Structure 1
Amino acid sequence: MQDPGRCPWCGTDPLYVAYHDTEWGVPERDGRALWEKLVLDGFQAGLAWITILRKRDAFRAAFQGFHPETIASWGEAEITHLLADPGIVRHRGKIEATIGNARAYLKISDTTDFAEFVWRYVDGQPLQTDRATMAEVPAATPLSTRLSKDLQKAGFRFCGPTITYAWMQATGVVNDHLVTCPRHAELR
């Protein structure tokens, strides 16, 4: 049964509820973990997040723990292998983007930690929102648009403003739990 205060987007699926209650919106300060979540949000484009959540362990296995140093060296042989893996979303463009995003991550990492790169957009502190209903939650914001453009300039793909905003929410860069949700106050 749905908790009347919990953000309604997670419904009653136990996996989704656990994700909402323990992970979504928790500030992520590890650069590699931020990158993994950005990649997964890119794979989610056009799909429901629960689909990616159900396949997350298979993604982690297929992408060898999402280590950018490993993935950046991949080529056609690895792409072909991934396209045959039924455990993941088999989309050539998204797989190729992941390899390119690993290279972009490493390029950023040459000058700064990826977590520092991301968190500087909010001066190191999660943005706090006070939204009462899902209708008030935007799909994108001027900040997600700016971060998206900067990621794209750095060589990232599958990181438009909507994907970037969902990623900012998931990684706690912005606290978008509804004010009725117990997690809102916990993460404030």
Structure 2
Amino acid sequence: MQKKLILIVGLPGSGKSSAADFIKRKYDAGIVHSGDIIREEVKRRGLEYTPQNDALIAHWFHSSGREKLVVKRIWNKIKNSKKNLIVIEGLRSEKQLKYLKAIAKTRPIIISVLASFNVRVKRELKRGRFGNKESIEYLKFRDKLEKKHGEDKLIRKADYKINNSKLNIRQTDAKIYEIMRKILAK
């Protein structure tokens, strides 16, 4: 049986991980976070996990044709999963999407999760992924990088969009539930 792939895209702090986690819980889906691939590479290289090293490794994956490398690592996790419904959180470029479609032999259904910059900043600072090393300047820089890699183009390609700026977690889950009903009915 071919796996059904759901790709969740959005800028940092938009709510991608929350959406992916809801689908995992509600539909017993497998989940692959592209950020885990970055963090695994940082660790593999023996680097401290800092905003600078995160950006350095992410940039490394997005340069010199290495976009495929992230997708290959994601695909290895997908094909080794026993789940038939897989959520991929956080591809960053059209090149990565194109490569995923080629190796998966299917086009993933794309859900974009949107939120205003101010909302995303609050969420990212609250998350504190890097302790107190994150700043508004870093988040602006990260947005710029994501857009440079093509995240905004992926967001525009989405089959479904959720603006999560003014929604609480229950409201966001309800929106995801409605989208998943449509997806699974096909």
TM-score range, shorter chain: under 0.3
TM-score (norm. length: structure 2): 0.27
TM-score (norm. length: structure 1): 0.27
Higher strand share: 2
- Greater length-normalized contact order (CA 8 Å, ≥ 6 residues apart): 2
